[in-house]
């Protein structure tokens, strides 16, 4: 079974003044295999963020289907959706989106506390150690560099061992060296933890670490390129 399957998924946002609006995603069909690392590329406005939001059940298609680990997102109850997001999905953003009033370790443990999972602090510390940030556990986000904040955000996204790791321009706000470190962590999230990773990116170099590169244009697949390491 695919970790994530999208079948003819389209998304139309309402336009201003009740107009029909633009088609941000246009009949997207693809099955993302378990553990596959996919880079989503294409110019600004081609639908990358829209696709990630559908993949994370943060939003729903106007038509078509999105299946996350065998569950159809449309029509699920709010409770079911919350559970799905809290157990199966990790999200990483360009601007990190750490909660500013919580320390690094408190940010990482929050998803576990919200879902009532045991040993939250211990597991959060393990994940911080994995991203080499254990020594910064008590720091507040404003006391961290961009790269350090993104590593904390990766620890937070992985703390509950999600099946799907969704990263929206995760290195867009980082310098090259720091960005490469973040890319390495995302690659290892896939190879060591078996996460299925979807990463939207502007950077052509960052696609080198992906198994598959999907080029989007106007909300549709323009090209799918599989690298040698994909099976």
Ligand X SMILES: Nc1ncnc2c1ncn2[C@@H]1O[C@H](COP(=O)(O)OP(=O)(O)O)[C@@H](O)[C@H]1O
Give 107 or 201: the residue with its C-beta nearer to ligand X: 201
List the alpha helices (DSSP H) in the chain. Answer: 48-55, 78-88, 104-114, 120-130, 146-158, 176-193
- Taking alpha carbons only, the member of 200, 195, 210 closest to residue 37 is 210
Closest distance of CB 221 from Mg ion, Å: 17
Give 4 or 216: the residue with its C-beta nearer to Mg ion: 216
Closest distance of CB 208 from ligand X, Å: 20
45: partner contacted, choices ligand X, Mg ion, none (Cβ within 5-8 A by kind): ligand X
Q: Torsion over CA of 144, 146, 148 and 154, rounded to 10 degrees?
A: 130
201 binds Mg ion (CB under 5 A): no
Closest distance of CB 13 from ligand X, Å: 3
Give 25 or 112: the residue with its C-beta nearer to Mg ion: 25
- Cβ neighbors of 180 (< 8 A, separation 6 or more) are none
Q: What is the rounded CA–CA span in Å between residue 230 and residue 37?
A: 9
Closest distance of CB 140 from ligand X, Å: 30
Closest distance of CB 201 from ligand X, Å: 10
Give 45 or 70: the residue with its C-beta nearer to Mg ion: 45
Pick out residues in 167-206 that bind ligand X (CB under 6 A): none
Q: What is the rounded CA–CA span in Å between residue 170 and residue 39?
A: 11
Q: Are 162 and 92 in contact (CB under 8 A)?
A: no
CA-CA distances (angstroms) from residue 137 to 64, 96, 123, 133, 200? 43, 16, 12, 7, 28
Give 10 or 53: the residue with its C-beta nearer to Mg ion: 53
Pick out residues in 32-61 that bind ligand X (CB under 6 A): 42, 44-50
95: partner contacted, choices ligand X, Mg ion, none (Cβ within 5-8 A by kind): none
Query: What is the distance, to the nearest Å, from the Cα of residue 188 to the centroid of all Cα atoms in its chain?
Result: 14
- Report the residue from 10, 38, 49, 53 that binds Mg ion according to the rule CB under 5 A: 49
Give 93 or 136: the residue with its C-beta nearer to ligand X: 93
Q: Which residues pair with 107 in a beta bridge?
A: none
Q: Are 152 and 98 in contact (CB under 8 A)?
A: yes
Closest distance of CB 85 from ligand X, Å: 19
Judged by the rule CB under 5 A, the positions of this chain that interact with Mg ion are 48-49
Judged by the rule CB under 6 A, the positions of this chain that interact with ligand X are 13, 22, 24, 42, 44-50
């Amino acid at each position: 079974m695919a970790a994530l399957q999208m079948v003819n998924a389209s998304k139309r946002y309402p336009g201003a003044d009740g107009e029909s609006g633009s088609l941000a995603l246009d009949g997207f069909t693809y099955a993302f295999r378990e553990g596959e690392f996919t880079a989503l590329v294409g110019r600004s406005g081609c639908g990358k963020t829209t696709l990630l939001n559908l993949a994370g059940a943060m939003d729903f298609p106007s038509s078509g289907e999105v299946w996350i680990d065998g569950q159809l997102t449309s029509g699920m109850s709010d409770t079911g959706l919350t559970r799905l997001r809290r157990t199966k999905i990790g999200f990483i953003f360009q601007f990190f989106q750490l909660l500013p009033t919580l320390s690094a370790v408190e940010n990482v443990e929050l998803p576990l506390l919200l879902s009532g999972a045991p040993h939250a602090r211990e597991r959060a510390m393990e994940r911080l150690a994995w991203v080499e940030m254990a020594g910064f556990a008590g720091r507040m986000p404003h006391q961290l560099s961009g790269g350090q904040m993104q590593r904390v955000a990766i620890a937070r996204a992985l703390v509950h061992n999600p099946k799907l790791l969704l990263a929206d321009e995760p290195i867009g706000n980082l310098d090259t060296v720091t960005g490469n470190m973040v890319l390495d962590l995302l690659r290892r999230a896939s190879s060591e933890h078996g996460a299925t990773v979807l990463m939207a990116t502007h950077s052509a170099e960052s696609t080198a670490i992906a198994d598959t590169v999907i080029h989007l244009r106007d909300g549709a697949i323009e090209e799918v390129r599989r690298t040698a390491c994909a099976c």
